[in-house]
Structure 1
Amino acid sequence: MSAYKAHFRVWRGDVDGGDLKDFHVEVNEGEVVLDIVHRLQATQAPDLAVRWNCKAGKCGSCSAEINGRPRLLCMTRMSVFGRDETVTITPLRAFPVVRDLVTDVSFNYAKAREVPSFVPPADLKPGEYRMRQEDVGRSQEFRKCIECFLCQDTCHVVRDFEQNKEAFAGPRFLMRVAELDMHPLDAAADAGIDRKRGAQEDHGLGYCNITKCCTEVCPEQIKITDNALIPLKERAVDRKYDPLVWLGNKIRRREG
């Protein structure tokens, strides 16, 4: 394929506001959108702000929205767009703009700190942990997350309702809660941590209505909804509404 000039619209601005600017940039065979952004910086807009690191789809840094869809700039090939198509690049909509394509994603790190970490079993020492391979595989899927926060950005609970952010952790961190809750060696209950109740009351699991938009944009093809959020919802409901669990809680409260 010969080189050609493509029409790009790139959002330029900062916290005080901005607008889309038009550019025509050369595209070569095999290039990804991040290549074009770098060429744009080198030839026309040296002050364009964009976050990136590995250019291999593993660091999650170059998250943005391309034609309205949350994507990684480094994993979106120019060949998916027609030569006459205008490619529009904007910052992640769910998070505050810092400048140009760079957003403030500190919300996600704050939510990460709210999730209680893995609690090792008290009767086992490091090196003595044993798990079934099927349990390892189930947890390993979620460990593939590169924290690009595309799932957080596309989740309409966060994206469309700023007021929900305080009560809702978002799919990435509900997935973390689900991973820990299904971990056979996690001794959170012995430490007084109820992960199912925490998912409901602290992390806003009830806000999720399982539209699967988070799964659709995940660059690691993690089945966030089917393998993490839906099973976590089922366990949380069982924990809250099972009559035997309810009776046990009543008895324990009376004994206390």
Structure 2
Amino acid sequence: MSTAKPSPSSPSSPSSSPSSTSYDARFRVWRGDAGGGDLEDFKVEVNEGEVVLDIIHRLQATQTPDLAVRWNCKAGKCGSCSAEINGRPRLMCMTRMSVFSRDDVITVTPLRAFPVVRDLVTDVGFNYKKAREVPAFVPPEGLGPGEYRMQQADVDRSQEFRKCIECFLCQDTCHVVRDHEENKTAFAGPRFLMRVAELDMHPLDAAAEHGLDRKKNAQDEHGLGYCNITKCCTEVCPEGIKITDNALIPLKERAVDRKYDPLVWLGNKIRRRGEQ
């Protein structure tokens, strides 16, 4: 018995499957520099399995060779290709075209919280400045490299925060930074408050023995009080780090305990009196 081959118009034919054919998508891409700019409209081919960064590269190759875009690994691990896609901070290399309808107009703009250099490239130097302001890990006295010993639970807690790829999407979406330029001098942002929280949780960090109170440092130097835990930073994190629940809220709780708990206050007062 012979089996009939599917006709070209048959639904089972790969050539007629909508998901396997290319189509023209409508893109609006911001073009300009620090002096100003505007959105430009493009029609560009999209193929199955592609991501937004593929389309931006195709635009560079076929229509706008001078389009500026920052990228590196194209694997969601370097954080370079951060942008805002339809208003949401995302990695272009991790945003699949399949999440959009073929009728959608896809808008790609630079990160709004930071100054534009050109087109989709922004100056994220603010973040590196804040990184340098966070006091580093203080190793415990008497232990050399390779001699540190920690409980696995403590390792796991810190390891979550170490997954950060420095994409700065959390910094971009945080309205304290995004909507209030004047806050930048006093507020480190979620990425670096998370770093302070990680160090404060570290069982081997000896900062306190050297006179550094990380909770007070977070409050006084890095603007912990500005954060009102809206969880927008957690929502855009491509690594799925629970920035708000596992870093910022616990750090806030410990800072409040240190500053307002009456027993802690009394203990500190007695300790200071005994040192006189």
Give the alignment's TM-score, normalised by structure 1: 0.98
- Out of 157, 177, 188, the residue aligned to residue 176 of structure 2 is 157
Q: Which has the higher contact order (CA 8 A, sep 6+)?
A: 1
Residue 194 of structure 2: aligned partner: 175
The alignment status of 1:79 with 2:95, answered yes or no, reads: no
For residues 232-247 of structure 1, the aligned pairs below 5 Å read 232-247=251-266
The alignment status of 1:38 with 2:82, answered yes or no, reads: no
Percent pairwise identity: 85
The alignment status of 1:188 with 2:207, answered yes or no, reads: yes
Residue 115 of structure 1: aligned partner: 134
Residue 47 of structure 2: aligned partner: 28
Q: State the AA in 1 paired with 2:150.
A: M
Q: Which runs of 5+ in 2 are unaligned?
A: 1-19
Summarize deviations over 1:173-222 as a string: whole Å, max 9, x none. Answer: 00000000000000000111110000100000000000000000000000
Deviation (angstroms), 1:34: 0.2
Larger radius of gyration: 2
2: distance between equivalents of 1:38 and 1:128? 48
The alignment status of 1:18 with 2:37, answered yes or no, reads: yes
2: distance between equivalents of 1:95 and 1:2? 38
1: distance between equivalents of 2:127 and 2:210? 25
Q: Displaced runs of 4+ in structure 1, greater than 3 A?
A: 251-256
Deviation (angstroms), 1:243: 1.5
The alignment status of 1:216 with 2:235, answered yes or no, reads: yes
1: distance between equivalents of 2:54 and 2:226? 38
Q: State the AA in 2 paired with 1:40.
A: L
- The two structures, once aligned, show a CA RMSD in angstroms of 0.8
2: distance between equivalents of 1:248 and 1:238? 12
Q: State the AA in 1 paired with 2:144.
A: K
Summarize deviations over 1:17-44 as a string: whole Å, max 9, x none. Answer: 0000000000000000000000000000
- Out of 151, 164, 179, the residue aligned to residue 132 of structure 1 is 151
2: distance between equivalents of 1:224 and 1:9? 31
**3-state SS, counterpart of residue 165 of structure 1:** helix
Residue 9 of structure 2: aligned partner: none
Give the alignment's TM-score, normalised by structure 2: 0.91
Q: Which runs of 5+ in 1 are unaligned?
A: none
Summarize deviations over 1:135-155 as a string: whole Å, max 9, x none. Answer: 100000000000000000000
Deviation (angstroms), 1:250: 2.7
2: distance between equivalents of 1:59 and 1:203? 25
2: distance between equivalents of 1:127 and 1:52? 36
**3-state SS, counterpart of residue 146 of structure 2:** coil
2: distance between equivalents of 1:120 and 1:212? 32
